[in-house]
Amino acid sequence: MHPKLSQLVFDASENKEDEECSDVPILKVESECLEKVVEFLKHYEQEPLKEIKSPLEDNTFEGVVKQEWYRNFVQEVDSPMLFDLVTAANFMAIQPLLDLACLKVSCLLMGKSSEEIRIILNIPQMTPQEEEHARREHRWIFDD
């Protein structure tokens, strides 16, 4: 893996040039997710992900991501792993993986109701008191 692909790895290697072996702190990434990140990086070395341009060229995931391996990579993971990949890519500053995973999340949420989004994102339902407080504090959100 080219160290520059991950800003975290690049920064760690820059700070420890004199040391023969350096550890990179990846405390926020579980081992199963880290395996997926490594899988992504190994494939990226052989076939870089084409840039995901904004505005998007299509309104479907398949229409935006033309490379089959990358489409399959995020379509084969469940939602919790997808969200873990977003977190890991963000923490490790791996922009291509972050772009790919965020695109998939946005496609999952597109066209969903607020209740469906709450379930997908595993957001607990507000109590009536919490909702009342939120409506008072953030009226602009609830204005029709």
Q: Which domains does the chain show, CATH number per domain?
A: 3-110 (3.30.710.10)
How far is it, in rounded angstroms, from Cα 143 to Cα 133? 15
How far is it, in rounded angstroms, from Cα 96 to Cα 144? 37
User: What pTM value is reported for the model?
Assistant: 0.76
Contact 9, 91 (CB under 8 A): no
Give pLDDT < 70 ranges for the chain.
Answer: 1-28, 144
Contact 93, 37 (CB under 8 A): no
Burial pattern 61-90, b for ≥16 Cβ within 10 A else e, equals: beebbeeeebbebbeebeeebbbbbbbbbe
Q: What pLDDT score does 141 carry?
A: 81
